[in-house]
Amino acid sequence: MLGGEVGKKGESPWQVVVLNARGNFHCGGVLIDRNWVLTAAHCLENNLRFGVRLGDYELLRKEGTEVTLTVVKAFKHPNYNRDTVDNDIALLRLQTPAPYNNYIAPICLPGQAMAERVLHLNGTTTVVTGWGKDDSGKYSSALNVIKVPLVNHSVCEQQMFPHTISENVLCAGILGQKIDACEGDSGGPMVTLYHGTWFLVGLVSWGEGCGQIDKLGIYTKVSNYNDWIRKVQEEWDKTNNLQGVSASSRRSV
């Protein structure tokens, strides 16, 4: 994160560390129920095997709250386009259910209508978290936080020209200020507080460099994918004879 600050331990209990096959930090992710993590599809490009670490805060220090779980299957969105980075979303199925506690909890997924009506408005303050590169160009050891407002689509298209800005993304940032997600933050959550509940609105997707003062950060608009998320979960449950198991633990409003 550029222009971020160190968050408090436990205030982003849905934050996930996505690990590569060697067990090293690879990307961010977000816990949406006991069995499933969302991340960016571009995080899956060069790796076949993944793990996740939940309840982490200081990456380089064991704190006793971390839980490392194996990912049994990764589902990249079928229409993910690596050239335009459209549909930059993926689901990770965990081998064993996440244990909920003060440091591990799922984020709420808003329904699409609610998200469009009240969460995606121009100027809405969002919170983005991650361990990505900071102002010094190094990865952060403690979980960093930035607060950035959503910026409407037409302004985003002007600022990000000649890149195509699809309807599947949200844009955020403060023009003239270096507050932005960066390399290593990909796949991590963009959340917003509404009536006392934190909702997931975006996943860190891409930008032009990091923190360029005339550019904005681009985030996958998660509510556009609610049907796909549900379909992948239901098909997994059906294939593995788990009907109804995860339906009760899904949090969608």
Residues 49-89 have pLDDT tens digits of 899 999 999 999 999 999 999 999 999 999 999 999 999 99
pLDDT digits (tens, 9 = 90+) for 166-176: 999 999 999 99
- Assess whether the region 15-106+225-239 and the region 108-223 belong to the same CATH fold: yes
Per-residue model confidence (pLDDT) at position 251: 40
pLDDT digits (tens, 9 = 90+) for 79-126: 999 999 999 999 999 999 999 999 999 999 999 999 999 999 999 999
For residue 54 the two structure tokens come to 């939940």
pLDDT digits (tens, 9 = 90+) for 198-207: 999 999 999 9
CATH code of the domain made up of 108-223: 2.40.10.10
Cβ–Cβ < 8 Å for 86, 57: no
The residue type of 46 is N
Peptide bond into 13 cis (omega under 30): no
Rounded mean pLDDT, 230-237: 96
Per-residue model confidence (pLDDT) at position 46: 78
pLDDT band at 247 (very low <50, low <70, confident <90, very high): very low
Q: Break the chain into its structural domains and give their ranges.
A: 15-106+225-239, 108-223
CATH topology (fold) of 15-106+225-239: Thrombin, subunit H (2.40.10)
For residue 42 the two structure tokens come to 């571009």
Per-residue model confidence (pLDDT) at position 47: 74
Asked if the model's pLDDT at residue 145 lies above 50, the reply is yes
pLDDT digits (tens, 9 = 90+) for 6-43: 999 999 999 999 999 999 999 999 999 999 999 999 99
Whether 88 sits among the annotated catalytic residues: the reply is yes
Whether 141 sits among the annotated catalytic residues: the reply is no
Q: Pick the catalytic residue: 33, 56, 86, 88?
A: 88
pLDDT band at 243 (very low <50, low <70, confident <90, very high): low
Per-residue model confidence (pLDDT) at position 249: 46
Distance CA 246, CA 242 (A): 8
When the pLDDT of each residue in the chain is averaged and rounded to a whole number, the result is 93
Q: Pick the catalytic residue: 12, 33, 42, 223?
A: 42
Q: Pick the catalytic residue: 140, 186, 223, 246?
A: 186
